[in-house]
Amino acid sequence: MNPINKTLVLLLAGGVGSRLNLLVQSRAKPAVPFGGLYRIIDFSLSNVMNSGLTQVGVMTQYKPLSLMNHLGTGAAWDLAGRSRGVKILPPRTGSSDSDWYRGTADAVRQNIDFIKAHPSQEILILSGDHIYHLDFDLMIQAHRQKGADITIGMMVVPKKDIHQFGAGITDQEGRIVEWEEKPKVARTDLASMGIYVFDSQYLLALLAEDREEVDFGMHLIPKAIGRDKVYAYRFTGYWRDVGTIQAYWQANMDILREDSGISPESWGIRPNVEAGGRMADRPPARFGSAAKVENSMISAGCVIHGQVLNSVLSPGVVVAPGAVVRDSVLIDDCQIGEGAMVDLTIMDKRGKIGKNAVVGSGVKKGVNQEHPTHLYTGITLVGKEAQVPDGAVVGRNCIILPHRLAHDFPSLHVASGATV
């Protein structure tokens, strides 16, 4: 057996991701479409595939149906076969311990039977909701060379952002000597990426010590640092947690910038083209004689008659004559009516913008009144299958809820910060 196959992968994909607002109303955060062709989880799964790892357990919890449909047999990531596989691991509902995973460590603890059924030298624990490219093979080799009990993927972030992460202070050998989970005062700029390599037997022993220790960052990692061999594995490439509307929009825009460091195609990121009819059997994109496209990603099945500027369009989007789409992310099969203007907007599947409507009007100041911490940079959200009526003017930081129809709009003018 190749030594790399001695590593079992556990992929945490159960988070609510509530800051993504209506994008996660009907799907788990890792299943949110991204970058035209992909879902967020495709990045972690493709990294697993490209690192030669073959056994993956995916821990689901929150609204898992679209995620499970997307994963399928795992064949899209070469994870189907006799010696390879993707196994869905939902919470053990109805058990005496807990019906829901109480934290990252609790999720792993509830699946010890899966770990024991797949004997391994190491266990690689990942999140399914980050955009990045990492060769886990190199990280595992570093873990073995150090003789580590735990190796944590870490990267330098601005100190002003360190409060969002677990933070580690290392010695000259890269051993972590101090740890703070989401510190209010920055003492280091080295942040955890939520990627861990554990010696398998060590992890099983650690999980058995105290069942009330339910989280790696809060409980198990700080305890291990005080007594065991915990090392940092430094990462220097592109990595983004797309857990907020602003971060999600920015990462999509990064795909359009040559100098951003993100390149799904050259990274070997693979979507599941068969799942849910997103891409299978789509014709090539078509462009009308008056179409104008600048610095944009246009997926298969799109029909462009108007202008698309600095935007990411998933399969099947239609932009009618005279319409303009700018600085926006449009998910599958959205329709932009004649003469409409869509600016700084994220639209979920099958949304429709009526003729001569404007979405994203006015100055970008202010916040959404119902969700001020979600929408505050001018981005407007249009939910799945929502229909903005002909001639409507929708401001900035607005939310048009899923399945809203023209008669649900109290007025053709939706003020900035409003929710319909």
44-92 pLDDT, tens digit each: 999 999 999 999 999 988 888 888 989 999 999 999 988 899 998 887 6
- Domains detected in the chain: 3-255 (3.90.550.10), 282-414 (2.160.10.10)
Give me the pLDDT at residue 64, please: 81
- Reply yes or no on whether the pLDDT at 325 is more than 60: yes
- How confident is residue 205, by pLDDT bands cut at 50, 70 and 90? very high
Backbone φ and ψ for 395, nearest 5 degrees, come out as -80, -160
Model pLDDT for residues 213-268, shown as the tens digit of each residue = 888 888 899 999 989 999 999 999 999 989 899 999 999 999 999 999 999 999 99
Q: pLDDT tens across 337-351, in order?
A: 999 999 999 999 999
In the beta sheet, which residues pair with residue 324?
307, 341
- In contact, 21 and 399? CB cutoff 8 Å: yes
β-strands 312-313, 329-330 pairing: parallel
**d(Cα 150, Cα 393) in Å, to the nearest integer?**
54
* pTM greater than 0.85 (yes/no): yes
Measured at the CA of 383, the angle between CA 278 and CA 346, to 5 degrees, comes to 75
Residue entry with tokens 């939520």: 194
**Could you give the percent of the chain with pLDDT greater than 70?**
96
- pLDDT for residue 112: 92
What is the pLDDT at residue 93?
59
The answer for residues whose C-beta is within 8 angstroms of residue 277's C-beta and 6 or more apart is: none
- The answer to whether 242 and 375 are in contact (CB under 8 A) is no
173 Cβ contact list (under 8 Å, min separation 6)? 146, 231
Say how many Å lie between the first and final Cα of the chain, rounded: 58
Tell me what the mean pLDDT of segment 133-143 comes to.
96
pLDDT at 61: 82
* Phi-psi group of 247: left, alpha or beta (phi > 0 → left; psi -120 to 50 → alpha; rest → beta): alpha
In the beta sheet, which residues pair with residue 347? 330, 382
Side chain identity, residue 109: R
In the structure, what pLDDT confidence band is assigned to residue 99 with cuts at 50, 70 and 90? low
Percent of the chain with pLDDT over 90: 76
Rounded distance between C-alpha atoms, residue 397 and residue 380, angstroms: 5
Tell me, what's the pLDDT at 357? 98
Residue 6 confidence (pLDDT): 87
The whole-number pLDDT of residue 398 equals 97
Contact status, residue 91 vs residue 55, Cβ threshold 8 Å: no
Per-residue confidence (pLDDT) for residue 1, from 0 to 100: 39
The answer for residues whose C-beta is within 8 angstroms of residue 75's C-beta and 6 or more apart is none
